[in-house]
Chain A
Amino acid sequence: QKEVEQNSGPLSVPEGAIASLNCTYSDRGSQSFFWYRQYSGKSPELIMSIYSNGDKEDGRFTAQLNKASQYVSLLIRDSQPSDSATYLCALPMDSNYQLIWGAGTKLIIKP
């Protein structure tokens, strides 16, 4: 059975620094990975999708996928207090149409 693991945190990062969030997974065959951000009391919001090995950049966010080592990372550059949230990673369960969700990492950006 596929599994996704994240450190629950909280991860505390000073404002302006790089925040690094990691997610490991058990299935070498996984092809798609998603990073979601969830503010307290709000719904999950998709921030990055990554489908191939390497880096994908979108503004201050970079997703890094390493299929050989079975981990996917999210880097947030120039961290802002508004980045404080819980970050969830997810990957598909193949043919039964579901996503496997990590439990999320709580990120706190300290001014």
Chain B
Amino acid sequence: NAGVTQTPKFRILKIGQSMTLQCTQDMNHNYMYWYRQDPGMGLKLIYYSVGAGITDKGEVPNGYNVSRSTTEDFPLRLELAAPSQTSVYFCASSYSMGGGSNQPQHFGDGTRLSIL
């Protein structure tokens, strides 16, 4: 079972460059999430999606964009990379039949991103 797959696993960017972090899940989950985790810190929600075509901001959305054109894919876009975006990025997904998030989230392996 693939679960949640993130690519790339590692990336180094120069300041001002752009890139897209890919996330795909094969569990038919309707909810998907993007988190960042700085060294020694907790998870911070960047964006989330409750279904194809629906996205919303989390706690730290500035400098990022997302789209959700299919149930499976939820890419995260960095338009103008800044050193403050150096972090580990996790994509997660979960399933819920109704409103609310009473089901656990399942995580990908993460993307380690350095901005120099």
Interface size class of B (residues with CB under 8 A): 20 to 34
Q: How many A residues have CB within 8 A of the partner chain?
A: 24
Contact, CB under 8 Å: A92 / B100 = yes
B101 touches A99 (CB 8 A): yes
Q: Could you say which of A14-22, A42-50, A69-77 contacts chain B?
A: A42-50
**Roughly how many angstroms separate A92 CA and B96 CA in the complex, as a whole number?**
12
B53 contacts partner chain A, Cβ-Cβ < 8 Å: no
Interchain CB contact under 8 A, B102 and A31: yes
Docked-complex contact B90 and A43, CB < 8 angstroms: yes
Knowing A44-B90, A44-B107, A45-B107, the reply to whether A93 touches B101 (Cβ < 8 A) is: yes
Residues of B within 8 A of A (CB): 31, 33, 41-43, 45, 48, 50, 56, 58, 90, 96, 99-110
A104 to B40, CA, bound (A): 10
User: A residues touching B (Cβ–Cβ < 8 Å)?
Assistant: 31-32, 34, 42-46, 49, 51, 88, 90, 92-99, 101-104
